[in-house]
Chain A
């Protein structure tokens, strides 16, 4: 696609429910990143994929968070047993080069609200 596409753009869920957030990167981009941004804060790193594998998942806050990228393109961020503190905008970015974030293009994000 022309840019990084994230769906849904908004998601409201009840506390304790499971959610999946999808990221469709720019075609040909091998690196994919997930960030989380709370109100008034900068984006916080969650996980980085190079191809199909998670090269760095050190930012995932706990084991309720998990992400996959089975075919090296689309990625899904999965959150189990959601909590109100998970409410944030979840941003996805992709790039050609694995560590050169200059080429990283961000999607519009998914605003997750846990009620």
Chain B
């Protein structure tokens, strides 16, 4: 059964700290891995990773994928209170061989990050 596992499930840090969030996956016909930030209800897209070893970066956030070891990490440097949220990792399967579309993302449970002032 396809699954995505995130760790830790929750994390409390102080402003200015650097954090690393982990995501491991076991997905048949894996295509890509995505990171979302969820505040309140709507997840907002952060990164999509398709190739191993290529870091994606956006401001203080960065992420990398290891397709051999089947994991990804999300780093946040110089954390701010506004970074407090649930960070979701999701794996996207490849389009099926018979040409049908696959629209499902397989999400992990998320990491709840709390940044204290």
Contact = CB atoms under 8 A, between A and B. Distances in A.
Nearest to A47: B103
B107 A44 contact: yes
Interface residues of A, number: 30
A31 B110 contact: no
Interface residues of B, number: 26
Contact of A42 (B45, B103, B108): B108
Contacts of B42: 4, 91, 106-109
Interface string A25-57: 000000101010000111111001110000110
B43 A91 contact: yes
Interface string A75-115: 00000000000000101000000110110111111010000
Contacts of B64: none
Interface of B: 4, 6, 31, 34, 40-45, 48, 88, 90, 92, 95, 100-110
